[in-house]
Structure 1
Amino acid sequence: MQMTGAQIIIECLIEQGVDTVFGFPGGAVLPLYDALYQNQNRIRHILTSHEQGASHAADGYARSTGKVGVCIATSGPGATNLVTGIATAYMDSVPIVAFTGNVAVPLLGKDSFQEVDITGITMPITKHNFIVKDVGDLAETVRTAFKIAQEGRPGPVLIDVPKDVTVYTADFSPQSPEVLKPRTERLSEKSMEQALQLIKHAQRPMCYIGGGVIRAKASDELSQFLENIDSPACTSLMGVGAVSSLSPRFTGLVGMHGTKVSNMSVSACDLLVVIGARFSDRVVSKASAFAKNAKIIHIDVDPAEIDKNIKTYCHVIGDLKVVLTELNHRIAKPMEHTEWMEQVAEYKKRYPIRVDSESARSKEILKALQSVLPEGFFAVTEVGQHQMWAAQFLKHLQPGHFLTSGGLGTMGYGTGAAIGAQVAHPDARVVNIAGDGSFRMNCNELATIARYKLPVIILLMNNQTLGMVRQWQTLFFDRRYSETNLDTPIDWMKLAEAYGVKGMRISKTDDPKPILRAALDLGQAVVIDCEIPVDDKVYPMVAPGASIDEMLGVEEVGE
């Protein structure tokens, strides 16, 4: 049947199972928005306050569901406003498809009004991007984009559609979405056997887990694998939730703000099994000293990550769920490393996370938050000290319930991502743990929260400074606090209320628990201005260029 390009896009989205899109209209996408209006009973559109908010919302929707998130922006500045969100998704392997409008095909390349080469701009930060100049190619392009976004290592794909392409007509035939198979074409018997032999002969195995386990929905297989090889496990920031925080095998984060237990265990192990992680510089720090006593096995779906940052002894390339299932199948009898596990348990007793600050306020607040939140909550963060505290002090029991910008470190990510998670899970509690520096960047999305009556809780850890930058200035720049003070007198309660959102405050002397409980009991959006001391710090910490076992802010119990 004949359809316009705009109608074809809508039909393809519905065909792919998309129920919600996030965006902001403009001239170059008016035909698409007209088609959305005519199909509002079939697909929901969430109007954000800014295109960056739309990209982060699509990201939060995708991370919290495992489905593809979709966002839409017009040409020129609308398209460029998506760039930060696309780069965030790219660094953290999040499947989103971004649609941008552009000027009509005859006007391309002529510096037309609101024209920008968005495919050129986003080439380094997408798995693939397209510009569709023929309406007859549109349906196949959309279907291909969804496949690329999801298969193998997930990531963002951009489709740029000139305005005239959305108006022209073409034949459209509906299709069922392609069923994607796990990527195993590079999985070899030789690599599996080599990995098994290393595992069988190890006396002190350690597993370092990344976000790839969550993306592959392989947490159950990982749990069985840890039992089979009798190994402790640490995670990157992106891997938080892949192993339950309550598991006796879990040692916490690894790397710059990792636990002393994790960092010592990585340094002491004789075999490090790295699963779905990329050896980020924030984990590795001094590369020549990383896991210096261990042979390293790297298991990942993306061959480009093998030996990119750290040279490994053995690698297994393939879908993590498939690889872990096969490894579990081949381990006939669970192994025992009693002495090693006892040593790790002793590390845990000796090196609890130290809270070295004017007070233990950040820990106290987050523990109180945990105590009042229902099961299945989603914790979203901005970027900074509060992000690390949320990773350290909250108990993360389920994969995909901790949403944070790890690779790009995007301040302003959390509010949009919380919107996406809340829209995807209307009955769940979603809390955005924010810093005042990050929140001020995209606090305009309070308008979106209010418009759609989303019961998002924003816990604003307000120290009136760029806390993480100030921490570095304190430790490494002789307390020269250049442009990090945020002591402008902003009344966050009044700001929230101006948007129609409830505002509350927790002072430095308040018991946080009853206030947090009251906020949750309201069942609506609340901004909680939570005062914390200006010099609360995130510890432990590895100084730049140091080995990960050389940590600042660590004390042994009894010292």
Structure 2
Amino acid sequence: MKLSGARLLIEELIHQGVDTVFGYPGGAVLQIYDELYKCKDRIHHVLTAHEQGAAHAADGYARASGKVGVVIATSGPGATNLVTGIANAYLDSVPMVAITGNVATEALGRDSFQEVDIVSITQPVVKHNFMVKDVTELEQTIKEAFQIANSGRKGPVLIDIPKDVQISECEYGVAVLPKMPDKPKLPYDQEGVIALLSQAKKPLIYAGGGITAAKAEKELIALAEKLNIPVTVSIMGRTAFPDSHPLSLGLVGMHGSYVAAKTQSECDVLLALGVRFSDRATGNIARYTQNCKVIHVDIDKAEIGKNISPDYSVQGDVKKWIKEILPKLKEQKHPKWWEEIHGFEKTKSKVEGDFHPKHILETLRKYTEDDTVVATDVGQHQMWTAQYYRFEKGRTFLSSGGLGTMGYGLGAAIGACFGRKKAHTVLITSEGSFGMNCNELCTAVHENLPITIILMNNRVLGMVRQWQTAFFGKRYSETVLDRSTDFVKLMEAYGGKGFNAKNCKELEDALKEREHYNGPILINCSINPDEKVLPMIPPGKSVDDIIL
């Protein structure tokens, strides 16, 4: 069957199981968009307000659904507008295929209108990228792109397709995807790992995004229960283990709980599953593992030994590893260790005021289900959400962990909505982050998406201001947002519903209105600008230096 390159692309996307793509049209992708129009009953295109929003939507779709997210943009500024979203997906290991158009092959390298070398630009922030100059290579390239994006340590792949390749024709259905070669793995001392776990007096599990990526939440529960080991989680692994489980100690790291941080500092064996030991999680590297042995399990060879030198390392899929080792482990109890941990639980940060973010999130939780997806932007509200919102199921917390992208949240919430068949989705944001991509409200309204936006409005750049308070002598340089933006009117201008809330009753009243409305709503919650995210372990410090 002979098809044009553009039609071949759409047919192969459908063949790969893609039901939704996000993007913005332009001259270099007109052929692709023409074919999308012809196939709109088979694949849904979501028109965003900006290419960055489209990239974040593809990211959110992938995180919420576990499938590959797809984004399309034109050449030049359309392609470069994707870069932040691609980099965000790369640092958080999110499977994404970004498709860009480009000028015709004969015009490449001549500074043609809207020409950029997007392949070179994205090289540091993709798993792989392709420039397709021959239409006969397109089908094979698309198949490989999806395989690369969704295998091993997942991540984004870019395909750049010149205009003439989109028009040219070739046979479709002839490409055969070769089996990916097995990469040599690091040697693994299974007996040593089993012995160390069996001999541990104060073991601890540290779970990260690798658990979510491998869909290993059930296996993690089984492992923790058999060994009766406490579990801490990273930001990226926030939903790897249910908060209501008695073995859960919650978030660890710069803004994690005291009990999680203290337990980590006192443990004698740390079993790290699918984590990369980022600086925000470890604090002072030299002191981080000075009292314990470390077992590090990760699918990415490059992460083994990069930040922490483990005593035992296992390179491989964490789900398969748990299934393999679980029958060989004996049940443990550790009563003395748990008695010590319960003592740590008595130390907590004080929560003051009637409308503290903790109260906002606890009120919100009464109106959400365990499988409701919650997206955040970046800042204080992100950390408060990770601290105080109760998560019970995997893939329900979407946040920019590695790149820390302000403006990520709304696009991600839109993508998650489609990834979960337009199920109710929540965005927690603040006026600083929200202002960066609030134009995507038009997308949420146009698609009539049931998104609840909780905007924590403290009229400052809260996290930066908190650091200025702690480390810069309260010199608040450019962090006071003395603007007069009326976010309720802004929401209404886009066609949605908006509410103001200054206390929990007003918040509850607004959330009750949500139940009678299918489209997006925004609740502007006024909070104290001096509110801080606590506990906090300062950069390069340890739990001994924690600020409560």
Shorter-chain TM-score tier: over 0.9
Q: How does 1:44-443 map to 2 (within 5 A)?
A: 44-173=44-173, 186=185, 188=187, 190-331=188-329, 333-348=330-345, 350-355=346-351, 361-443=356-438
Contact kept, 8 Å, 1:256 with 1:548, in 2: the verdict is no
Letter of the 1:378 counterpart: V
Contact kept, 8 Å, 2:186 with 2:301, in 1: the verdict is no
Letter of the 2:62 counterpart: A
Unaligned runs of 5+ in 1: 554-559
Residues in 2 aligned to 1:96 and 1:414: alpha-carbon distance in whole angstroms? 17
Q: For 1:528, what is the secondary structure of its paired residue?
A: strand
Q: For 2:542, what is the secondary structure of its paired residue?
A: coil
TM, length-normalised to structure 1: 0.95
- The 1:177/1:242 distance shift into structure 2, 3 A limit, reads farther
Residues in 1 aligned to 2:59 and 2:314: alpha-carbon distance in whole angstroms? 28
Deviation at 1:80, TM superposition (A): 0.4
Letter of the 1:493 counterpart: V
Contact kept, 8 Å, 2:355 with 2:502, in 1: the verdict is no
Residues in 1 aligned to 2:422 and 2:39: alpha-carbon distance in whole angstroms? 25
Deviation at 1:178, TM superposition (A): 8.2
Q: Which residue of 2 aligns with 1:556?
A: none
**Which of 433, 457, 462 pairs up with 1:462?**
457
Deviation at 1:222, TM superposition (A): 0.6
Q: For 1:542, what is the secondary structure of its paired residue?
A: coil
Residues in 2 aligned to 1:178 and 1:519: alpha-carbon distance in whole angstroms? 49
- The 1:177/1:20 distance shift into structure 2, 3 A limit, reads farther
Deviation at 1:512, TM superposition (A): 2.4
Letter of the 2:382 counterpart: Q
Q: For 1:552, what is the secondary structure of its paired residue?
A: coil
Contact kept, 8 Å, 1:354 with 1:540, in 2: the verdict is no
Show CA shifts across 1:212-250 (max 9, x none).
000000011111111122210111100001000011111
Q: Which residue of 2 aligns with 1:545?
A: 540
Show CA shifts across 1:51-74 (max 9, x none).
000000000000001000000000
Contact kept, 8 Å, 2:280 with 2:539, in 1: the verdict is no
Show CA shifts across 1:81-133 (max 9, x none).
00000001001000000000111001111111100011101111000001000
Letter of the 1:354 counterpart: K
Show CA shifts across 1:368-387 (max 9, x none).
00011134211100000000
In the alignment, is residue 7 of structure 1 matched against residue 7 of structure 2?
yes
Unaligned runs of 5+ in 2: none
Deviation at 1:198, TM superposition (A): 1.0
Show CA shifts across 1:480-522 (max 9, x none).
1110111210111111111101111102575422322223442
Q: For 1:480, what is the secondary structure of its paired residue?
A: coil
**Which of 467, 489, 496 pairs up with 2:484?**
489
Deviation at 1:549, TM superposition (A): 3.6
Deviation at 1:412, TM superposition (A): 0.3
Contact kept, 8 Å, 1:92 with 1:406, in 2: the verdict is yes
Residues in 1 aligned to 2:355 and 2:262: alpha-carbon distance in whole angstroms? 25
Residues in 2 aligned to 1:269 and 1:84: alpha-carbon distance in whole angstroms? 38
Residues in 1 aligned to 2:449 and 2:29: alpha-carbon distance in whole angstroms? 26
Deviation at 1:260, TM superposition (A): 0.8
Deviation at 1:311, TM superposition (A): 1.1
Contact kept, 8 Å, 1:260 with 1:549, in 2: the verdict is no
Moved over 3 A (4+): 174-181, 357-360, 508-511
Residues in 1 aligned to 2:280 and 2:294: alpha-carbon distance in whole angstroms? 18
Q: Which residue of 1 aligns with 2:470?
A: 475
TM, length-normalised to structure 2: 0.97
Residues in 2 aligned to 1:179 and 1:433: alpha-carbon distance in whole angstroms? 42
Letter of the 1:531 counterpart: S
Contact kept, 8 Å, 1:389 with 1:538, in 2: the verdict is yes
Letter of the 2:58 counterpart: A
Residues in 2 aligned to 1:239 and 1:184: alpha-carbon distance in whole angstroms? 26
Contact kept, 8 Å, 1:298 with 1:315, in 2: the verdict is yes
Q: Percent identity?
A: 49
Show CA shifts across 1:120-166 (max 9, x none).
01111000001000001000000000000011110000001011100
- The 1:200/1:88 distance shift into structure 2, 3 A limit, reads same
Letter of the 2:426 counterpart: V
Q: For 1:225, what is the secondary structure of its paired residue?
A: helix
- The 1:235/1:317 distance shift into structure 2, 3 A limit, reads same
